[in-house]
Structure 1
Amino acid sequence: MVDELLSFSLLCLSSIIIIINPLGATLTYISLTGNLEKKTKDQIIREACTISLAILVIVGIAGTIILQIFGITLEAFRIAGGILLFGIGMEMVYAKTSRTKLTATEKYESQDNEDVAVMPLAIPMIAGPGAITTTIVLTNEASEISPYAGIFIFISIGISIAITYFMMRNAEYIMRKVGQRQYRVINRLLGMLLIAIAVQFVITGIKLAFPLTGAS
């Protein structure tokens, strides 16, 4: 049981941090707030992180209920989520900004809008479809492991948002140290890890949906 909880906690932390992608969120934050005053920037950071944290916590609490309302099985959602994460991972490998996180239209419309904390930073850049899907899948998986396993999901969400907040607050320093080339290398590595997690989601979903396949 201890080993299973440890493995699950590492899965939660790695998958949520990768899908939120604090470095990518920081780059987007810089591109959207370059002409704003420091006080306004700080407010945007606080609001974006608070809103995204609230969204993911609510999803983590009500994830099972959401699936039940729409009559969606965990297996179907896990497979669909794995396919979504696979697509995001592929775009990260090819050093592209995922369209599920930030579309060109959203980025263009936000250029002249000082209130970018909610859209597009909190949604969909930080608490996007990938993060929401991952949280729901992990929440349902936690219920099958232990009553205490769900705690690791919320801890992982808190750590991921805290890292994002820290990186945004120190965005200028980070950008002096991390150039576009370094960012692409890091992004590709994280993309490969995300693809592996996505494939595991799909494999697990298929095993649970089709137990007669004989997969153990």
Structure 2
Amino acid sequence: MFDLKQIFTAGMILFAVIDIVGSIPIIVDLRKKVGHIQSEKASIVACILMIAFLFVGETILNLIGIDVNSFAVAGAFIIFFLAMEMILGIQLYKDDAPETAAIVPLAFPLIAGAGTMTSILSLKSEFDTPNIIVAIILNIIVVYAVLKSSKKIEKLFGKQGISVIRKIFGVILLAIAVKLFATNIQSLFN
């Protein structure tokens, strides 16, 4: 039932998409603006959102008349653009700066945003659900740890170090987007 390879692969995909390490500058900014970040609350809400979307996301798509493969191809495009943002250091999607560091800016859209939700449904077309749930939970543990120790991480790596890590994950994400596109585009034409 549990497949370590699937858990690891799904976990790495989610880790790259969530990009919690790349979000450290945003988290540090939020902490400076509002003083305190609710790490526990943000992590739990993000976990619930992701697991709920894993189960009802496909049903919602079916109601609109979209199959998982089409969604996965669309998701590949989103992941592709996220990767381009990370690699090139540009911002394609601009959002208003959050006013509070409560659940809304952290749990959604920073942790469980559009890219994460798309990835979860895309993963569902390739991996078993229990393995995806374990991958989500493992990622939330990492997210929580990063939220709790964002000041220490920023001091440890510095701005340059975080930038390098972000670019490395961008390249990994780009490769994932290409694989996701190639895998799901074939089933659309079959």
TM-score of the alignment, normalized to the shorter chain, above 0.5? yes
* 3-state SS of paired residue (2:116): helix
Q: Give the CA deviation at 1:31.
A: 0.3
8 A contact 2:22–2:165 mirrored in 1: no
Q: CA RMSD in A?
A: 1.9
- Structure 2: gaps of 5 or more residues: none
Indicate whether 1:117 and 2:96 are aligned.
no
8 A contact 1:89–1:195 mirrored in 2: yes
Which residue of structure 1 lines up, in the alignment, with residue 49 of structure 2? 55
1:135 corresponds to which of 120, 124, 146: 120
C-alpha distance 6-165 of structure 1, shift in aligned 2 (>3 A):
closer
8 A contact 2:11–2:132 mirrored in 1: yes
Q: Which has the larger Rg?
A: 1
Indicate whether 1:16 and 2:14 are aligned.
yes
Q: Give the CA deviation at 1:121.
A: 1.4
1:174 corresponds to which of 128, 153, 156: 153
| Segments ≥4 residues shifted beyond 3 Å | none
Indicate whether 1:183 and 2:162 are aligned.
yes
C-alpha distance 91-35 of structure 1, shift in aligned 2 (>3 A):
closer
Paired residues, number = 190
C-alpha distance in 2, partners of 1:160/1:70? 30
8 A contact 2:61–2:68 mirrored in 1: yes
Q: Give the CA deviation at 1:22.
A: 1.5
Q: Residue 34 of structure 1 aligns to which amino acid in structure 2? A: K
List per-residue Cα deviations over 1:75-125 (Å, max 9, x = no partner): 2111101011000001100124562xxx34x21xx2xx3x32223211111
Q: Residue 117 of structure 2 aligns to which amino acid in structure 1? A: I
List per-residue Cα deviations over 1:52-95 (Å, max 9, x = no partner): 11110100111221221111012211110101100000110012
- Structure 1: gaps of 5 or more residues: 143-148, 212-216
8 A contact 2:68–2:121 mirrored in 1: no
8 A contact 1:64–1:139 mirrored in 2: no
Query: 62-71 or 123-132, which moves further after superposition?
Result: 62-71
